[in-house]
Amino acid sequence: MVLKIFFPRCCSVADSGLLVGRWIPGQDSAVVLAVVHYPFIPGQVKKYLSELCSQIQVDLTVLGSWSLSKDGQEEMDGFLKDLSTIFPHSRWLQLSRQPGKRGFACEVVRKNGHAPASDEEDKIIFVHYDQRKVMLSQLHPVHENGADVESSELRAVFHTVSQSEPLFLLDKYDDGPLKLTHWQSDGREASIIVELIKQASVPVCMLLTLLVCWWKRLCSFRVLNIWPVRFISSKLSTCVQAGYRTDHFQTVFSTRKATTHMDFMRKANIFVSFFVDIALGLLLISWLYRENRISHLANTLMPAADHVAKELQDLLEWLMGAPAGLKMNRALDEVLGRFFLYHIHLWISYIRLMSPFIEMILWYVGLSACLGLTFALSVLSDIVALLTFHIYCFYVYGARLYCLKIYGLSSLWRLFRGKKWNVLRQRVDSCSYDLDQLFLGTLLFTILLFLLPTTALYYLVFTLLRLVVVMFQGLIHLSVDFINSFPLFAMGLRVCRPYRLAEGVKFRVLHEEPGAPLHLLMEINPLQCSSVLQCYRIETSGCSSRDSWLALCKKLFVGELIYPWRQKSTKTD
């Protein structure tokens, strides 16, 4: 039988005393957590451990004795060995270490008070571990053969150390009935500044939570929830980003303590993401309002808008002629060209009407970056949508006209084959037509077929222009989604303190000697960066494609309106 003893490295030079820890249920393993030094009263040790067990819900007990041989401590070693009768257990560990030696000597005493016979002797393996790292780390699920190993021995060790935090509040330097050695005995990891921030964060969080509640109550007014306002706000990226940040403010500034590791990591990731977002926004403001860049941007915007309008006019005049030598329907080509040219003239008039106010609008819009870079990018996306609204209108007109002709041709094609679409049963059924219906269908089919190339050319050109705008907006939305969802805090832990996010452990031989217990060193394997991104990525209402590429191509072919980047309809609180 192999008996594994997980021994903290910080206790390997501790003075003689009692070993406090836990026997892993169902396993031949023991976890040593601390060493209690002399002087102590056994009754006080029992009372202290019983109080701890009621707090942490972990069955702590005295595992045995620890002896670090020094001059004049022979009587102490005998006293510690006799304590096995006071702290009864199925097995009593008697660990000792000689000065100048790396290995330990271990003797296992059974419940009857005698050491086991040679044929019943346990094979001892010491697993040395860094108690601080195990205490602060989070062991993630390890999958073996598709199943999550939740009740493994290793997980029980990590759980025991992490749940025994109250045990580490008392060390050998405190004034009290017990003196303990553990991972904090060489210096408490505490900071006055951190404690002051914790105390001050409670009223600040309460105030911010109140402000967020007032803001959500203001947004819930009935006037703001009528259909036109709700529809427009759902299409504006700025409103979507404001709602997203409001939900996360309510999560971060909540005074409710995070009970699980995932809740804490989610709060920390959101807070760091918001902090970095604000920092990037302030950097953008400092760049925009330096050297009068707002005026230069406003002076550049109008010539750019005129240039785009002129290019569109030239494109329409090219389509109204013989584009690429194609023979178009002269009447339909003239009607469509003049129709779209009229929209361009309207758009140029609107831009020139707004030109005196462009600089002032940009000056106030630039201030939105103080709310974060994501707000500035969302405003930029909305500005691009407004400045290219005429291109969107051209695309909608061309798509609707092209779709009408495609569906008309498909319906008339079924007429020639003696078929019709059954609306009730959603299928194609056989049907008999008379001569007048066939004559009228043939006439309409011919007209639509010869008008299709002209319509398809306009549809193709404006669809390509629309896709260019959508791709630019998609890049902006992906940038916003990346800032909102990237788990920066978790990645910082992975880089700076990789042991905090553990995927598993590895063992290496620390000391091996014939006839002596084997000593192994347990080291933590950090979680892979891809797993960190997958596990701690913040759920957002970001961009997603509802259709596959094949479905999008099909919609483009038949002329249905497409929106490759949509906002997700589901949100996570």
pLDDT, tens only, 500-514: 888 888 888 888 888
The mean pLDDT value for 4-10 works out to 90
The 10 Å Cβ neighbour count of residue 37 is 17
Which of 76-80, 226-230, 432-436 is most confident?
432-436
Bigger pLDDT: 77 vs 123:
123
Which amino acid is residue 354, in one-letter code? M
Task: Return the SS3 of 567.
Answer: strand
pLDDT the model gives residue 541: 58
Highest mean pLDDT among 90-94, 187-191, 368-372: 368-372
State whether residue 431 is helix, strand or coil.
coil
Per-residue pLDDT at 205 exceeds 80:
no
Q: What percent of the chain has pLDDT over 90?
A: 7
- Domain 2-181 fold: Cytidine Deaminase; domain 2 (3.40.140)
Q: How many helices (H) and strands (E) in the chain?
A: 17, 17
Report the pLDDT value the prediction gives residue 6, as an integer from 0 to 100: 92
pLDDT score of 115 more than 60: no
Task: Give 155's contacts (C-beta < 8 A, 6+ positions apart).
Answer: 139, 149
Q: C-alpha angle 17/22/25, rounded to 5°?
A: 155
Mean pLDDT for the stretch of residues 321-343? 84
Report pLDDT for 145.
46
Stronger pLDDT, 226 or 395, i.e. the higher one: 395
Q: Pick the closest to residue 31 from 147, 177, 161, 216 (CA basis).
A: 161
pLDDT tens, residue by residue, 546-563:
556 787 788 888 888 876
Q: What share of the chain is helix, strand, coil (3-state, %, to 5)?
A: 60, 15, 25
**Tens-place pLDDT, residues 381-423:** 888 888 888 888 889 999 999 999 998 888 888 887 778 877 7
Distances (CA, A) of 236 to 96, 546, 566: 71, 19, 12
Q: CB of 45 within 8 A of CB of 75?
A: no
pLDDT given at position 113: 52
The structure tokens 């992490």 sit at 162
Kindly tell me the burial class for residue 471, based on how many C-beta atoms sit within 10 Å of its own C-beta (0-12, 13-18, 19 or more).
exposed
Mean pLDDT of the residues in the chain? 80
The pLDDT of 361-372, averaged and rounded, is 86
Pairing of strands 105-110, 91-97: antiparallel
What is the rounded average pLDDT of the residues 445-468? 89
Query: Which of 39-53, 206-220, 229-243, 545-559 shows the lowest per-residue confidence on average (mean pLDDT)?
Result: 206-220
Give the lowest-confidence range in 204-208, 281-285, 423-427: 204-208
The CA distance from 271 to 538, in Å, is 11
Taking residues 237-261, report their average pLDDT: 79
Residue 501: phi, psi to the nearest 5?
Answer: -115, 95
What is the spatial distance between Cα 231 and Cα 178, in angstroms, rounded to a whole number? 67
CA dist., res. 280 & res. 282, Å (int): 5
**Token pair recorded at residue 86:** 């006071």
262: how many CB neighbours lie within 10 A of its CB?
12
Residues 96, 69: Cα–Cα separation, whole Å: 7
> Which pLDDT belongs to residue 222?
63
What DSSP assignment string belongs to 484-541?
HH--HHHHHHHHH-GGGEEEEEEEEEEE--TTS-EEEEEEEEEPPHHHHHHHHPPP-S
* pLDDT at residue 402, rounded to an integer: 92
> What CA–CA distances, in Å, run from 168 to 33, 181, 212, 290?
9, 9, 38, 54
Work out the percent of the chain whose per-residue pLDDT is above 70: 83
User: pLDDT band at residue 426, thresholds of 50, 70 and 90?
Assistant: confident
Q: What is the pLDDT of residues 133-154, one digit of tens each?
A: 998 888 887 554 444 444 578 8
For residue 283, what pLDDT is reported?
Answer: 92
Q: What distance lies between CA 184 and its chain's CA centroid? A: 32
Q: Which residues contact 147 (CB under 8 A, 6 or more apart)?
A: none
Q: Residue 118 above 50 pLDDT?
A: no
| Number of residues in the chain | 573
What are the sequence ranges of the domains in the chain? 2-181, 288-486+538-567
pLDDT mean over 8-35:
87
Q: How far apart are CA 74 and CA 58, in angstroms?
A: 34
Burial of 328 (0-12, 13-18, 19+ CB in 10 A): buried
Can you give the pTM of this predicted structure? Answer: 0.77
Residue carrying the six token digits 């291109």? 391
Stated as kind and residue range, the H or E segment containing 147 is: strand 147-148
**What is the predicted pLDDT for the residue at 573?**
35
Q: Is residue 272's pLDDT more than 70?
A: yes
Q: Is 420 left (phi over 0), alpha (psi -120 to 50) or beta?
A: beta
pLDDT of residue 562: 77
Both tokens of 404, joined, read 């009408």
517: cis peptide before it, omega within 30°? no
Q: Is the pLDDT score of 22 beyond 50? A: yes
* pLDDT for residue 568: 46
